Amino acid sequence: MAKTPCTKETYDKLVERYTFLKKIERPRVVDEMEEARKQGDLSENAEYHAAKEMLAHIDLEIPKLEDQISNAIIVEFDANSDTVRFGATVTAKNLATKKEVVYQLVSPEGVDPMNGKISFKSPMGSAFMGKKKGDIVEVVTPKGKNRFEIVDFK
């Protein structure tokens, strides 16, 4: 499988989540199942069924995290780059509204739109990739076409 670029912050969050699930949450849920099992009839034991469902969810998430972590390659933005690359924080002006937006281009696992982190693979992120300060990019979104001028990136 190909390596996936990610920021150090995203990598650390993946490792933190993996460690939490593997060392804390999964053992806790297994203990809950054991306690519920001791109560007798499992067919009507809501605690047992809830714990079993939670364990199934955890057991699906752990291998996904293992794959993401093993295939991650930490990439830092090169401050000397003359084009927008992965990890860059891009300031762009919407040419229709004249409003400026600021986005950091991150891996899909690091997306946090409320904090300005968008995937470098998203329509907006991929439109910015490889562009220079002053370039005009056109982005097709669900709301239609938007044109942005790249004001700056770092």
pLDDT for residue 5 is more than 70? yes
Per-residue model confidence as pLDDT tens digits over 21-70: 999 999 999 999 998 888 877 777 888 889 999 999 999 999 999 999 99
Specify the pLDDT at position 1.
62
Report the SS3 class of residue 13: helix
Sorted by sequence, the CB contacts under 8 Å of residue 104 that are 6+ apart come out as: 87, 88, 89, 90, 116, 117, 118
Task: Give me 40's structure tokens.
Answer: 């007798």
Per-residue model confidence as pLDDT tens digits over 136-148: 999 987 888 999 9
| Closest alpha carbon to 153 in 120, 122, 123, 110 | 120
Per-residue model confidence as pLDDT tens digits over 113-144: 999 999 999 999 999 999 999 999 999 878 88
pTM of the shown model: 0.79
Q: In Å, how far from its chain's centre is CA 120?
A: 11
